[in-house]
Structures are given as structure tokens and as C-alpha cells.
């Protein structure tokens, strides 16, 4: 697909026409112009918008509930926030960033990159910020969607692309008395930068991805930090020394240097992210256990030791988490929380810990995807009802009963570098959009039987990954028990499956 982009750009400069995916013309001449609505201006929405513009589509809008582009990188601004995918693999292939400051980029640098992409490629004029989507309804007679916004406005579109992804709605713990807490309380994904933690007694509920990054940072300024851990997680070290000026200069001046590193990172991640190689899993567990040895207190060391196999839950990475437990003002609490009062957290052993601030590091409702919005498809089918056993989609992109609706970072697409996976998904969506624009097609909908066959195959593969079957209370499973987040194969396998839509998998209606 990347080669096609180059051909298209060259054709525009020369004024010629290029044949695109499935023989569809990639020039600006088409049978009809489409109205396209993209929900979300995170990485998926930005990538989709850029591809639309490159293909000559201009009648589209990005509907974003926050005040700017960036998605999760716009909202997650807690101290120490950084990516756990290597920086040189965390940029779009068409807009490589060669001067990442370090191997794992911090949040401000990633957000700046996302803003750069949106500005560089003319996406911002299409954005409508502070315009969250409340409802989307399909009109069969008109073959179009009506989107109701939280502002009360409506948007009519022929195509909807959902880029809400996994990390959308916040997950709030169900703890007695939480709503009665009288101090400062906030979620780590909505960090309160106006509140000064200096000298305070801080309680942190949750010990996964965000806590691993921000707890070492706030422990430097707070008077006392109590970290309430339900489950010990695997936290691996990472090679993350900042790049030297000499290295940065080489990346800037030699395009092949950055590209070679990117390709090597892709190969390494492609081979390791299926969690099926016992030797690789054993090596990572050994690295994780060795990292814990830095903790001086033997009792704390033991409480930090995971009881589930590596890969059962999301792998975490930090060079600062375990050393932070050698600070006298950081306490690890493993007794379950019984209740919260106006100024304290009480655990099951009866101990009362007074706190000034509570920070909820409890993550996101990762299994809802597009069902975070009220979506109504053909014959009044609601997506909540269609997904009553858990989110389900063909290739993670289309779900039966919802024509001309495409998802990015949808069900069972989480693995490897999500920016790479998003590019493959956008390629697939563009092939459908070109067909709608050029082939006299009113709508496209995946056939239920094709979606069922595909998801049966994916679930069988997931069942074969031993570590994902262990009981570790991860976020991968829906309430019905199905793993709805993870992709069980390699990124390369996903690219091959999405490269050319199977016409037999889709039902179409002609205009």
C-alpha cells in the first residue's frame, strides 16, 4: 500500500491517473463524493484523515470530544507517562520521525508528533473539537448515517469511521465510601496538574500501566505514598538511555539509519508479540524477576513477585518502579481495601491510612469499543445487543448489521505497535471507500457468516495461547468471558489478511 501512495503522489504531479486497490481509480475523478465522519482525532482518526486527503477526499469531518488531537496522548498527561512501544516503531510509515529523544518516547513528545502530523497534512481544518458523538443511527432508505453530537448538533454522513479505540471510557473502582472521600480525588487518566502533591499523604489505587510510571515520580515530592496493589504485575526493564547527539545526528542525516532500526524493531516485535514461544516467555520472566531483586526489603520483594505467567496480563516496562520501593515514603499495601472514609483508606486487616489525595490508577473500560456510543444499525439493531457476548468484528474493522461503518483499533486488533496495525486497517477501509465512491455502491456490510467464521478462527487461536488462558484478572476479556482485545497472530499476518478485501465476505446494495 505504501508503494501505491508514492504512485498516487507522482500521478498527481504529472496529471495522470493511477489504478488503485482492486482496480479502483485513485485519481480525484470519481462517481460520487462521499460525506465521511470520523469519530475521534487520536492516532487512528489522524491516519484516516491523512489517507482520505491523499486520495482526494475532502468532504470529511473529525468529531473529537476533547479540545485537541492526540487521543489517549492528549488525555493521559500524568507524571512519567511514556510509550511502551519503541519510539522508532511508534510513528506512521509516511511521516517517520527520526529525532526521537530516547528509545521510549515520553507523552509530550508523542503528542507533539501527533499535532505535527495533523498540521503537516492539513487535517486540522476538518476537526471539530469539543464535539463528542452521543448517538449514531443508520437510515436504510437514504443509505446514510445521522450522528447526534453532545452539543445538540447533528451530522449526516454516507460513511462513519470509528477511531474511538480501546482506551476510551474510564474504569472506576467499586469501593464502598469512594464517593464520600473529602480530600482531592482524580483518575490518573485525567491528572489534576493544578493540585500540588508536595508533602501530602497520597493513596494510589491500582498498580498497573499508569501507576508503574507515575508512582516513582510522585514519590519524589509527596510526604507519603501508599500504593494499594491487588495483583503484582510483570514489570520488565527497558533500554531507554536518551540518544546521544551523535546518534540523533546520524538519524537525521542518514534516512537509512532510522529506517533500518525501525525494520529491526518491527521484526523483533512481530516475532515476540504472539506470546507463544516458551523460550522467549522464560527469558522475559527471568528478566522481570531479576529486576525485582533491586528491592531491599525481602517482604516487599515477595509481594511484588507476580503469581501469573508473563503475558497473561499486559506486559509493563519501567526502570524506576522497583527502585522506588527503597524509598522510605513509599509503602506497598496488598491487603484488600474494605472501604474509604472522608479522609482515609481502610483495609481488610482493619488498618486505617489517612490520605489527603486519592489517585485512581484503575485504567479504562477496554472492552466496550464503539459501544461506548449509542449506535443503531439496520432494522433498529443496537450495537450493545449485537455485542451482548462481547465486541465482535470482521478483521476488527466491520461488524454485521452496520453498513458503511468501519472501526480502527477495533475488537481483537491489539498487539504489537498499534500505529502499524492502524495503518493496515486504514488501507482496508480505504479500499471499501473507493468502492463506494466509484462503483455505484450505496452501502457495504459484512456478512454475519463471514464474521462468525473469522471470529471463530481468532478465538480458537486465542485458546491456544496458554498464557492468555491463565486466571489473572486482565482487561482482555468481556463480561461473557471472551477475549475481545487481543490479536493472536503477528502484525505481518494482519497486514496480509487486510490487504485485499474478500468480496464474498460482504453484502452490497447498488445505488
If you search the block for the grid coordinates 490518573, which residue do you land on? 188
Alpha carbon distance, N-terminus to C-terminus of the chain: 28
pLDDT tens for each residue of 452-495 = 999 999 999 999 999 999 887 678 888 888 899 999 999 999 99
Angle, to 10 degrees, between the axis of helix 43-54 and the axis of helix 107-120? 20
Domain residue limits, the chain: 32-169+365-510, 178-234+276-360
Q: 405 near 157, Cβ under 8 Å?
A: no
- Residue 452 region by backbone torsions, left for phi larger than 0, else alpha for psi between -120 and 50, else beta: alpha
Q: How far is CA 44 from CA 47, 163, 406, 421, in A?
A: 5, 5, 12, 10
> What was the pLDDT predicted at 368?
80
CATH 3.50.50.60 at 32-169+365-510, yes or no: yes
* DSSP conformation class of 490: -
What is the H or E stretch that residue 185 is in? strand 184-187
Query: Alpha-carbon distance 383 to 290, whole Å?
Result: 46
Distance separating alpha carbons of residues 251 and 75, to the nearest angstrom: 30
Residue whose C-alpha cell reads 504531479 in the numeric block: 13
Nearest-angstrom CA–CA distance, 449 and 400 = 9
Rounded distance between C-alpha atoms, residue 301 and residue 295, angstroms: 6
Q: What is the CATH number of domain 178-234+276-360?
A: 3.50.50.60
| CA–CA dist 342, 340 (Å, integer) | 7
Give the pLDDT confidence score for residue 29 in this predicted structure: 63
Under 8 Å between Cβ of 184 and 346: no
Q: What is the pLDDT of residues 179-220, one digit of tens each?
A: 999 999 999 999 999 999 999 999 999 998 999 999 999 999
Residue 111 grid coordinates: 503528542
| Closest residue by Cα to residue 501 from 370, 372, 406 | 406
Q: In sequence order, what are the beta bridge partners of 441? A: 510
Residue whose cell numbers read 523483533: 268
* Whole-number pLDDT of residue 364: 78
Q: Calculate the alpha carbon distances from 171 to 100, 167, 362, 485, 498 in Å.
A: 31, 10, 6, 16, 31
What is the structure's pLDDT at 304? 98
Strand order of the β-sheet with 357-360 is 184-187, 357-360, 201-205, 224-228, 330-333
Q: What is the dihedral of CA 84, 88, 94, 95, to 10 degrees?
A: 90
List per-block mean pLDDT (blocks of 10 residues) for the chain, which spans 511 residues: 31 30 44 94 98 97 96 95 95 95 97 98 98 96 97 97 85 93 96 97 95 98 97 95 96 92 92 82 95 98 96 93 98 97 97 98 82 93 94 96 97 94 97 96 97 96 92 80 91 94 94 89
The per-residue pLDDT for 276 is: 82
Q: Where are the alpha helices (DSSP H) in 413-490?
A: 418-438, 448-463
Task: Select from 70, 41, 34, 35 the least CA-distant residue to 133.
Answer: 41
Give the number of other Cβ atoms within 10 Å of residue 67's Cβ. Answer: 8
Domains 32-169+365-510 and 178-234+276-360 share a fold: yes
C-alpha 376/C-alpha 397 separation (Å) is 17
> Are 5 and 94 within 8 A, CB to CB?
yes
Per-residue buried b or exposed e for 136-163, using 16+ beta carbons within 10 Å of the residue's own CB = bbbeeeebbbbbbbeeeeebebbbbbbb
* Contact between 376 and 146 (Cβ < 8 Å): no
Residues 6+ apart with CB under 8 A from 101: 109, 242, 243, 248
Residue 379 DSSP code = G
- In the three-class reduction of DSSP (H, G, I as helix; E, B as strand; rest coil), residue 89 is classed as helix
Question: What are the residue ranges of helices labelled H in 169-233?
Answer: 209-218
- For residues 411 and 397, what is the distance between their CA atoms, to the nearest angstrom? 8
Amino acid at each position: 500500500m505504501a508503494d501505491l501512495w508514492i504512485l498516487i503522489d507522482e500521478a498527481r504531479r504529472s496529471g495522470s491517473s493511477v489504478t488503485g486497490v482492486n482496480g479502483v481509480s485513485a485519481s480525484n475523478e470519481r462517481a460520487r463524493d462521499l460525506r465521511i465522519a470520523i469519530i475521534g482525532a487520536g492516532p487512528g482518526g489522524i491516519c484516516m484523515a491523512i489517507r482520505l486527503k491523499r486520495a482526494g477526499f475532502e468532504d470529511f469531518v473529525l468529531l473529537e470530544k476533547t479540545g485537541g488531537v492526540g487521543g489517549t496522548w492528549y488525555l493521559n498527561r500524568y507524571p512519567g507517562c511514556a510509550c511502551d512501544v519503541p519510539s522508532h516503531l511508534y510513528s506512521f510509515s509516511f511521516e517517520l520521525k527520526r529525532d526521537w529523544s530516547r528509545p521510549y518516547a515520553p507523552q509530550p513528545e508523542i503528542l507533539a508528533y501527533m499535532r505535527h502530523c495533523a498540521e503537516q497534512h492539513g487535517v486540522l481544518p476538518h476537526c471539530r473539537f469539543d464535539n463528542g458523538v452521543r448517538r449514531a443511527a443508520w437510515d436504510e432508505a437514504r443509505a446514510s448515517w445521522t450522528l447526534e453530537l453532545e452539543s445538540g448538533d447533528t451530522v449526516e454522513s454516507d460513511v462513519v469511521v470509528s477511531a474511538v479505540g480501546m482506551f476510551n471510557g474510564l474504569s472506576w473502582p467499586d469501593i464502598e465510601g469512594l464517593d464520600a472521600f473529602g480530600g482531592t480525588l482524580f483518575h490518573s487518566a485525567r491528572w489534576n496538574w493544578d493540585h500540588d502533591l508536595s508533602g501530602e499523604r497520597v493513596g494510589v489505587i491500582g498498580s498497573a500501566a499508569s501507576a508503574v510510571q507515575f508512582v516513582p515520580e510522585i514519590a519524589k515530592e509527596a510526604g507519603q505514598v501508599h500504593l494499594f496493589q491487588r495483583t503484582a504485575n510483570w514489570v520488565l526493564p527497558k533500554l531507554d538511555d536518551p540518544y546521544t547527539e551523535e546518534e540523533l545526528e546520524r538519524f537525521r542525516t542518514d534516512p537509512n539509519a532510522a529506517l533500518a532500526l525501525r525494520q529491526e524493531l518491527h521484526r523483533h516485535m512481530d516475532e515476540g508479540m504472539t506470546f507463544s514461544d516458551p523460550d522467549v516467555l522464560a527469558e522475559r520472566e527471568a528478566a522481570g524477576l531479576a529486576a525485582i531483586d533491586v528491592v531491599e526489603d525481602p517482604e516487599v520483594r515477595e509481594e511484588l513477585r507476580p503469581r501469573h505467567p508473563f503475558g497473561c496480563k499486559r506486559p509493563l516496562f519501567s526502570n524506576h518502579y522497583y527502585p522506588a520501593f527503597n524509598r522510605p515514603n513509599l509503602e506497598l499495601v496488598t491487603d484488600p481495601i474494605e472501604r474509604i472514609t472522608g479522609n482515609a483508606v481502610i483495609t481488610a486487616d482493619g488498618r486505617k491510612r489517612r490520605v489527603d489525595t486519592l489517585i485512581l490508577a484503575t485504567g479504562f473500560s477496554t472492552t466496550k469499543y464503539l459501544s461506548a456510543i449509542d449506535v443503531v444499525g439496520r432494522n433498529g439493531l443496537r450495537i450493545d445487543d449485537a455485542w451482548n457476548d462481547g465486541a465482535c468484528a470482521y478483521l476488527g474493522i466491520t461488524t454485521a448489521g452496520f453498513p458503511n461503518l468501519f472501526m480502527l483499533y477495533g475488537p481483537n486488533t491489539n498487539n504489537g505497535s498499534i500505529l502499524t496495525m492502524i495503518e493496515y486497517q486504514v488501507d482496508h477501509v480505504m479500499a471499501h471507500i473507493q468502492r463506494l465512491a466509484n462503483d455505484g455502491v450505496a452501502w457495504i456490510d459484512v456478512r454475519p457468516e463471514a464474521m462468525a467464521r473469522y471470529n471463530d478462527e481468532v478465538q480458537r487461536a486465542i485458546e491456544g495461547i496458554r498464557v492468555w488462558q491463565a486466571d489473572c484478572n486482565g482487561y482482555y476479556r468481556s463480561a461473557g468471558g471472551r477475549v475481545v482485545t487481543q490479536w493472536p497472530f503477528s502484525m505481518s499476518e494482519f497486514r496480509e489478511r487486510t490487504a485485499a478485501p474478500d468480496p464474498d465476505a460482504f453484502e452490497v446494495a447498488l445505488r
